[in-house]
């Protein structure tokens, strides 16, 4: 039967359920040029309004995965499972930098393909590129060799993994269809399926700094990802975790790398950052068969952190991908630092009752530490440290944070945004659980 793209668009526009063959033909046509960008836009809008069944989402994910190459690890005879974690993004979210070496130290192999920051959210790739010499886009052989020899490698998406996703995402970004849960699900999972994983743990954020601030929408996305991934053959568990305050007491690329190093070496332990990292990593170990239950997994992770094994693996990953061989031992020797550091004084005494976490992220963007367009350059040195947390008690004039910037004007703008973002008052702050929902496939 002749493939006619507009008939598939028409069917979805009218609320019909598409067959796997129809979906595969449409996605395949993106690569061959028989489906135009205008037709992709129309399809995305039809899905946005009419949705997709779980079976349609599985078919879309599989078709997008099949649009490019897939990684395979069996030829390397790895002595452990291939595991990964993905986050919907947030502020001060340095989890990936610590989680990958922790899981590797516990026996997993983690080929983590991460993204750059956009809008108020920080990107793991931008953080790693603050390390001098670190190659975030190595060739295929170097990537596989690093995973085999070290246990983990964190890099950026290669052009040959799920290339249809790049086209569809680019169209969604300019047609106001980014928030479609079926399209988000397929976008995330097509790349993860192409990575050749044995299991995946998903971190879906909720709260003022999340991509989807509303808990119900966050939980809906988590259910979609866990169900579709498992249906597509990738065992997945999704956790919904809070982003109602920055996860770390720092936000900004090099500053978050320093937090991660301090955490791995035992020099710093922030309960919320530690708790979310360990919860996600423990799920990975259980899914991968490296621990019989979550308690055993947590014990194993604590041991590899306390004995220095995870920090050693982080250093080996950095070295294998071109970074300095003594980064963990001497981070200040290598990580860029902003020339100016200024405190943001609290305007009055009170308890931190709420934090507009998105506004905190935008303060980092105002300093040059994030981007509003994908092509924007990033200043890796700037950002915020010593950020207050929910429930902290401050006196008037005590700092809400320290601002690291290049010039007084940028620091003044970021300081004003931060002061607006923090609500001080009397009484207790509402602090939710570190894991607000756990959703299986």
Q: Which residues contact 390 (CB under 8 A, 6 or more apart)?
A: 244, 245, 352, 353, 354, 355, 429, 430, 431
> Are the C-beta atoms of residues 167 and 290 closer than 8 Å to each other?
no
What span, in angstroms and rounded, lies between the C-alpha atoms of 253 and 404? 11
State the DSSP string of 234-279.
--EEEEEEE-SS-SSS-BSHHHHHHHHHHHHTTS---HHHHHHHHH
Instruction: Decide: 199 and 284 in contact? Cβ < 8 Å.
Output: yes
**Burial of 116 from C-beta contacts in 10 A (0-12 / 13-18 / 19+):** buried
User: How many Å separate Cα 292 from the centre of its chain?
Assistant: 27
DSSP characters over 168-223: HHHHHHHTT-TT-HHHHHHHHHHHHHHTT-SEEEEEEEESTTSSS-SHHHHHHHHH
CA 421 to each of CA 112, 226, 353, 369, 409: distance values in angstroms, whole numbers, following the listed order: 32, 33, 11, 18, 19
Which residues are known to be catalytic?
Answer: 84-87, 124, 172, 187, 191-192
Give counts: helices (H), strands (E), the chain: 17, 12
């Amino acid at each position: 039967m002749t493939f006619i793209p507009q008939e598939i668009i028409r069917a979805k526009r009218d609320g019909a359920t598409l067959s796997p063959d129809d979906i595969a033909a449409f996605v395949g046509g993106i690569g061959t040029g028989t489906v135009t960008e205008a037709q992709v836009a129309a399809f995305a809008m039809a899905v946005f309004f009419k949705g997709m069944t779980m079976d349609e989402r599985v078919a879309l994910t599989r078709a997008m995965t099949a649009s490019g190459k897939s990684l395979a690890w069996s030829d390397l005879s790895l002595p452990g499972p291939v595991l990964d974690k993905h986050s919907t993004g947030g502020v001060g979210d340095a989890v990936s930098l610590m989680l990958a070496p922790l899981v590797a130290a516990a026996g997993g192999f983690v080929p983590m393909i991460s993204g750059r920051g956009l809008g108020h959210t920080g990107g793991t790739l931008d953080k790693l590129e603050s390390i001098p010499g670190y190659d975030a886009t190595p060739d295929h052989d170097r990537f596989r060799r690093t995973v085999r020899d070290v246990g983990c490698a964190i890099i950026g998406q290669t052009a040959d993994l799920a290339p249809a996703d790049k086209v569809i995402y680019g169209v969604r970004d300019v047609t106001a269809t980014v928030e479609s849960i079926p399209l988000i699900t397929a976008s995330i999972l097509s790349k993860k399926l192409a990575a050749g994983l044995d299991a995946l743990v998903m971190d879906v954020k909720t709260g003022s700094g999340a991509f989807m601030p509303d808990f119900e929408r966050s939980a809906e996305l988590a259910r979609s990802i866990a169900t579709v991934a498992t249906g597509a053959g990738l065992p997945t568990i999704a956790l919904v975790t809070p982003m109602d305050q920055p996860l770390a007491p720092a936000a900004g690329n090099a500053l978050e790398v320093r937090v991660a190093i301090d955490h791995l070496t035992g020099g710093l332990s922030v309960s919320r950052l530690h708790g979310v990292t360990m919860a996600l990593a423990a799920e990975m170990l259980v899914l991968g068969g490296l621990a019989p239950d979550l308690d055993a997994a947590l014990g194993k992770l604590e041991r590899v952190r306390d004995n220095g094994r995870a920090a050693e693996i982080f250093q080996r990953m950095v070295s294998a991908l071109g970074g300095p061989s003594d980064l963990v031992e001497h981070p200040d020797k290598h990580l860029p630092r902003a020339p100016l550091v200024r405190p943001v004084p609290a305007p009055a005494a009170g308890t931190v009752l709420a934090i507009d976490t998105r506004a905190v992220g935008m303060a980092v963007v105002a300093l040059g530490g994030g981007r509003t367009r994908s092509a924007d350059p990033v200043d890796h040195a700037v950002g915020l440290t010593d950020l207050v947390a929910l429930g902290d008690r401050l006196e008037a004039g005590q700092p809400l944070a320290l601002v690291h910037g290049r010039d007084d004007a940028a620091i003044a703008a970021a300081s004003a945004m931060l002061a607006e973002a923090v609500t001080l008052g009397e009484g207790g702050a509402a602090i939710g659980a570190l894991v607000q929902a756990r959703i299986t496939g």
